[in-house]
Structure 1
């Protein structure tokens, strides 16, 4: 049995809104192309050749070389000085004019030691060995009553060793205990012990008597702590400080003060300073070459400040000798080279002193030459 039902009405909530119909576009819209961002740190790559392996040009070596030469990324020309010193080197950056200028502190000549200081240093170099031995004996007699010398006599006592390799400290105390066991006639074992000790002093740091006696006093307290007190694990402990107070009380009038560290200003022979930041590099030898080395902080040039580097050109005296040598030699014909140089030296000193008429001959030079000629004439040669 067939039955039919009336058409159902759609719900007003589900009814589709009337939308305007638009004709389809004639051409499909094109999406904007995405561009790749290339990192500036990445180097450009050579594009592949347009030829396939089936083509003979693909295997042609000459064509491949020409292609690589044409499409290889080009390097920017760079100064060799910039390659050496980097981007922050001299002459680069907006403040290149300021960086190339020397600081005010470097324009001044370094302070020179006077003659008294030089003579005092020479005398100390001559007397330092005797001063060290004498003061060490005084320390042992007054502080330990000679115990250190007694306990080290098997090895010759405490030795003083001057070292050129100590650069960071003024001195070191060295100690070791040695011994041996022997068997007696009755079968008993007898143990014998002795101490080997020496004090190492830095030649490049200790340059006067005050430093010498203070360093020896400090190192002697270490030896007394090791040998007499028997303490090995605490080098600057309470017992070391007790020995230091005892030494200070006995030799305080001579400026001796035992501290836990040495804080001395080292007199370096050579000093270089950075032309930009002013940082100083101090050495005991001429181990820095400004042509090959630069500042480790800012990569700028280094300038030697101690001693001041000599100029490459001739000196004033050399120019004076060159200008007057031939004339003085002709005026004093037959004079030796030493006599001519003596005349030139006198002329130079007089010109420096402001005299207008320098003497250009040696008093009695002609008489001396005549005597030399006569002496040569009377020489006889024997067969």
Structure 2
């Protein structure tokens, strides 16, 4: 048992393991850089770095198999290797304090990247001039929303995330008088008029709302950063007395929420980008797109917004422009896109609880390197001073003897 434990410790503290993991990291980064042409930034992050293994499907099937270690796997082993080496090989001494501090910063940097990958959330907030919103929308994730609009002063909304829709099946929520059955789901599809496709094309058909005149054409998933996948779903609602009908839903902006009535209540069905509600709202007061005189070169993009949160007594105007975001409520609002001709601005909304860790880790590593360099310089100058003193002594002794 002791030999097994020693072999285990020897493996995780080995310098060879460090070299192998660094080599695998180089290969992974190179492969991901090449794949970014087809997958885009988001796709590369999901398939190469925010995963334990890079998966590829067996040709001719939908079965994924691991073909290479992913970012979580390599980074996790590097972190374990670094910590284990310090615990079992290094002892704290003032002579090595700079190295210890530098490695502590490196450990914190790896942890910061892990926490960022797990906790960071990215949304977008599109505002027209004069419009106020208290929610932002996801760039990629979508959701099925069932909105009870019976009360004129309040909307009661039940949402199902797209990950749940992809598994199809049935869902029963306690606030709804019917069951939701996902008959079909398409991660990316475009609406098409039924009279423009053959009747025997095998495309989804609905009995209610938008789907009576339209269908959807499935499309391959897009990983381009400037394109969004627009999901579609075929949904059947089943009450105690049987089916209420089948609706075709799409996240395409062309498709509006589809209303229906049941049991004396008014509902709406929609497939939309996932929303993140907050207890405060932003109102776009003014947007500016300035260019350098005599050119079309952009000089400035800015949005002047009003931040309002009555329960926190917050009511102020804020100017958001490049490199000058708004930070409030644990969120950071960046100027992301703008169309001054159409009169709207898009803010990128980021939540990252670990955003300070990279800065702290870099400061620790800088201090560690400076301390270690100072210790080495002090030792070097001390040895030089001693060597010069010894040389002077040796030179003076023959002279004294001769005298």
Structure 1 and Structure 2 fold alike (TM over 0.5): no
Higher relative contact order (CA 8 A, sep 6+): 2
* Bin for the TM-score computed over the shorter chain: under 0.3
**Structure label with greater radius of gyration:** 1
What TM-score results when the alignment is normalised by the length of structure 2?
0.18
Query: Relative to total residues, which structure has the larger strand share, 1 or 2?
Result: 2
